[in-house]
Structure 1
Amino acid sequence: MKYSPGAPRRLSPKQEKELALIIEHQLPVDVGFEAKYNWTLAIIAELIQQKWGPTYTLRGTSEILHRLGLSYTKPTYTLANADEEKQKEFIEITFPKVKKTVRWEHRPCPLSR
């Protein structure tokens, strides 16, 4: 062997799979973290310590997630009371009018797509 295999993993493959399932199918609040609705590295590291014992740094936690094929994305929200007709009217009629009336000093409008 031409390189060191490194230290043995502190979580078994079964534990890693269970961790991935928890992250994919539950919210932090579902597993006992107060008022948390999205996963962070700190919360995941704390979950690992509470559930299985090993302590991980944020970087170590990030490496586990990478190995499991998970990556950080911010949650997106949709407004429950949003009126699609009004949104469509704004995008197609109102916004183009507003965009034409504002001077952007030879720069693109920061609100346009």
Structure 2
Amino acid sequence: NVCRQTVSHSVSLFNEVGLELLLHRDFAPGREPFLTEEQQEEIKQLVLTTTPAELGWDVASAWNTKLLQSYVEKHFGVSISREALRKLLHRKGLSWTRPTYTLAKGDPDRQKNFEKQIDFIKKT
């Protein structure tokens, strides 16, 4: 699955320099990432340690790509697609899961008061 131009370029390099240059590549293919490694790590920690509600972004209790997209654009000045954010989080070892909720412990005094009210309502 290599295009003709790539094969032609590789053959030209081989003819000019030999096999050594083809085997030793000290440059990374592709464009520079939009976000630095530090920014990517900051996003990972943001997702792991906070909720959008805590930062005043939304009433949501979990991050999604739409909220992260807005956050990245506002804080880093970079417009990045939701799919790119999903892939970034996947590379960082995170995957999408449904949010889980933990119910708060009930207040025993309020529960007793509620039971009294229910008993009163049942009697009337």
Same fold (TM over 0.5): yes
- Tell which has more relative contact order, 1 or 2 (C-alpha 8 A, sep 6+): 1
Write the letter of the residue equivalent to 1:19. Answer: I
In the alignment, the residues of structure 1 paired with residue 103 and residue 45 of structure 2 have an alpha-carbon distance, to the nearest angstrom, of 27
In the alignment, the residues of structure 1 paired with residue 96 and residue 42 of structure 2 have an alpha-carbon distance, to the nearest angstrom, of 18
After TM superposition, list the pairs within 5 Å mapping 1:21-100 onto structure 2. Answer: 21-80=45-104
In the alignment, the residues of structure 2 paired with residue 44 and residue 26 of structure 1 have an alpha-carbon distance, to the nearest angstrom, of 12
Consecutive unaligned residues of structure 2, counting only runs of 5 or more, are 1-24, 107-124
Q: Which residue matches 1:93?
A: none
Q: After TM superposition, give the deviation of residue 30 of structure 1 in Å.
A: 1.8
TM-score w.r.t. length of structure 1: 0.63
| Larger Rg computed on CA atoms | 2
Question: How much identity, in percent, do the aligned residues show?
Answer: 28
Higher helix share: 2
Consecutive unaligned residues of structure 1, counting only runs of 5 or more, are 83-113
For residues 57-109 of structure 1, the C-alpha deviation after alignment (integer angstroms, 9 at most, x for no partner) is 11111111111111111111244469xxxxxxxxxxxxxxxxxxxxxxxxxxx
TM-score w.r.t. length of structure 2: 0.58
For residues 13-36 of structure 1, the C-alpha deviation after alignment (integer angstroms, 9 at most, x for no partner) is 111111111110000112231212
In the alignment, the residues of structure 1 paired with residue 50 and residue 94 of structure 2 have an alpha-carbon distance, to the nearest angstrom, of 14
RMSD: 1.9
Q: Secondary structure at the match of 2:78?
A: coil
Kindly tell me the number of residue pairs found equivalent between the two proteins: 80
In the alignment, the residues of structure 1 paired with residue 79 and residue 31 of structure 2 have an alpha-carbon distance, to the nearest angstrom, of 14
